[in-house]
């Protein structure tokens, strides 16, 4: 019996020695690097608690270095199969530090304030030439639409969709046309109408932007076609001396909606122009840079379309006088012009 016990003891001895060696190696590994781990953990804990002001400049500068050091320790720990507790601790610490080093720097509300506080406006101003070209083509489209129907009224049915035309057709009396502009304040389907109009306006804007990849030409043609419809309707109401009433009816939402379509078309043109004329940059690099700028503009275009849909469905229907409609539409136009082109831009903060 004693011989068997002695034999078993000799068999377990190498295993016990291996366990003891692994424990010693794990303890030595922790002791050599534990100072960096504890310092990184202290910095991470303060940042997670929002106590950034209590961090010194050296801690902030050393944060990326400490993160890479601890990540390296985790890699070594995995390769050498150290104890599970050390691995779990390092994995959790590296994950927390990663979000502070590489994760998003601002909250959604912080991004939104920064976006409206100057980033959107700066992106639009950086596309000044494209905005000017798109605006010129929208004006030209309006004139072309007017001239076409003035020369041949049958063009009206080509330019104006049937659902939009309704009773607004050549030959309609002044009373019939005026009835389409006023007297709708008691309608109760305005919410559904808002959803429909938002979808329609968004489709035009997205198409004008998405077609920019073909060197911007389809975007420009879409702008001309869309405003030709407006020119045809202007001709119709002008023939019955209702031009100002129609402009007031259109301006409530139109100053916002048309501005959004203008910016969407300019964003598409900006991408197409960067591909056709990349300058000193490679084509892909120029297109990527223009795409990031255009994406910022399109984010704001979505916001403008939401505002336009609300104005078109509620404000325009509830305001039943031309003067009130012109006041709202003119105020929105002044607001957009001031935001995009009059307010001073914030200078980006310099590092350090």
Q: What is the pLDDT of residues 202-255, one digit of tens each?
A: 777 888 887 777 777 888 888 898 899 899 999 999 999 999 999 998 888 889
At a CB cut-off of 8 Å and minimum separation 6, what does 319 contact? 252, 325, 328
In whole angstroms, give the CA distance from residue 182 to residue 316. 9
Cβ pair 224, 140 in contact under 8 A: yes
Sign of CA dihedral 45, 48, 52, 54: negative
pLDDT of residue 129: 93
pLDDT band at 25 (very low <50, low <70, confident <90, very high): low
3-state secondary structure (DSSP) of residue 217 = helix
Question: Which residues in 210-233 are b (16+ Cβ under 10 Å) and which e?
Answer: bbbeebbebbbebbbebbbbbbbb
Distance from chain centroid for Cα 321: 36
pLDDT of residue 165: 58
Report DSSP state, residue 240.
T
In whole angstroms, give the CA distance from residue 343 to residue 338. 6
**Block residue for tokens 């050390």:** 86
Question: Which residues in 22-61 are b (16+ Cβ under 10 Å) and which e?
Answer: eeeebeebbeebeebbebbbebbeebeeeeeeeeeeebee
Please state whether the predicted TM-score (pTM) of the whole model is above 0.95.
Answer: no
- As to burial, measured by CB atoms within 10 angstroms (0-12 exposed, 13-18 middle, 19+ buried), residue 156 is buried
pLDDT of residue 13: 52
pLDDT of residue 207: 83
**Block residue for tokens 């409609």:** 325
Among 119-128, 244-253, 298-307, 337-346, the range scoring the smallest mean pLDDT is: 337-346
Cβ pair 272, 129 in contact under 8 A: no
Region 4-23 average pLDDT: 50
Highest mean pLDDT among 2-6, 138-142, 180-184: 138-142
Q: Which of 272, 266, 295 is nearest to 214 (CA)?
A: 272
345: left (phi over 0), alpha (psi -120 to 50) or beta: beta
Longest Cα separation, the chain: 120
Q: Give 138 or 179, the one with higher predicted confidence.
A: 138
Q: Give 311 or 19, the one with higher predicted confidence.
A: 311
Residue 335 pLDDT > 90:
yes
Q: Give 110 or 330, the one with higher predicted confidence.
A: 330
**Block residue for tokens 């004139």:** 143
pLDDT of residue 316: 66
Q: Which of 264, 331, 276, 286 is nearest to 124 (CA)?
A: 264
Task: Provide the angle, in degrees to the nearest 10, between the axes of the packed helices 2-48 and 57-79.
Answer: 150
Q: Give 283 or 195, the one with higher predicted confidence.
A: 283
| pLDDT averaged over every residue in the chain | 80
Q: Give 30 or 233, the one with higher predicted confidence.
A: 233
Residue 350 pLDDT > 50:
no
Region 181-198 average pLDDT: 56
Residue 139 pLDDT > 90:
yes
Region 107-133 average pLDDT: 85
3-state secondary structure (DSSP) of residue 106 = coil
Region 136-155 average pLDDT: 94
Cβ pair 281, 225 in contact under 8 A: no
Q: Which of 246, 260, 256, 265 is nearest to 322 (CA)?
A: 246
């Amino acid at each position: 019996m004693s011989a068997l016990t002695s034999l078993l003891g000799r068999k377990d001895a190498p295993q016990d020695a291996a366990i003891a060696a692994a424990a010693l190696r794990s303890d030595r590994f922790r002791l050599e690097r534990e100072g960096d781990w504890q310092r990184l953990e202290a910095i991470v804990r303060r940042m997670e608690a929002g106590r950034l002001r209590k961090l010194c400049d050296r801690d902030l500068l050393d944060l990326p270095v400490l993160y890479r050091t601890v990540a390296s320790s985790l890699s070594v720990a995995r390769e050498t199969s150290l104890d599970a507790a050390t691995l779990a601790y390092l994995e959790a610490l590296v994950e927390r530090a990663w979000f502070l080093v590489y994760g998003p720097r601002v909250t959604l509300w912080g991004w939104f304030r920064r976006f409206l506080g100057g980033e959107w406006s700066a992106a639009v101003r950086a596309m000044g030439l494209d905005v000017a070209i798109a605006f010129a083509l929208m004006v030209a489209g309006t004139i072309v639409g007017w001239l076409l129907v003035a020369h041949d009224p049958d063009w009206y049915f080509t330019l104006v969709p049937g659902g939009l035309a309704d009773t607004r057709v050549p030959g309609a009396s002044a009373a019939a046309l005026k009835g389409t502009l006023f007297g709708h304040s008691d309608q109760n389907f305005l919410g559904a109408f808002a959803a429909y109009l938002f979808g329609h306006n968004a489709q035009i804007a997205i198409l004008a932007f998405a077609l920019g990849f073909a060197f911007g030409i389809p975007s420009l043609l879409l702008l001309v076609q869309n405003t030709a419809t407006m020119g045809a309707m202007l001709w119709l109401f002008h023939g019955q001396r209702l031009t100002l009433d129609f402009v007031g009816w259109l301006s409530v939402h139109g100053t916002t909606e048309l501005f959004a379509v203008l910016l969407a078309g300019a964003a598409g043109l900006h991408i197409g122009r960067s591909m056709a004329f990349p300058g000193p940059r490679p084509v892909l690099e120029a297109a990527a840079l223009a795409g990031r700028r255009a994406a910022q503009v399109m984010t704001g275009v979505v916001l403008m379309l939401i505002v336009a849909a609300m104005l078109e469905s509620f404000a325009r229907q509830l305001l039943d006088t031309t003067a009130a409609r012109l006041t709202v539409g003119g105020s929105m136009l002044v607001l957009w012009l001031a935001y995009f082109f009059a307010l001073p831009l914030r200078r980006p903060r310099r590092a350090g």
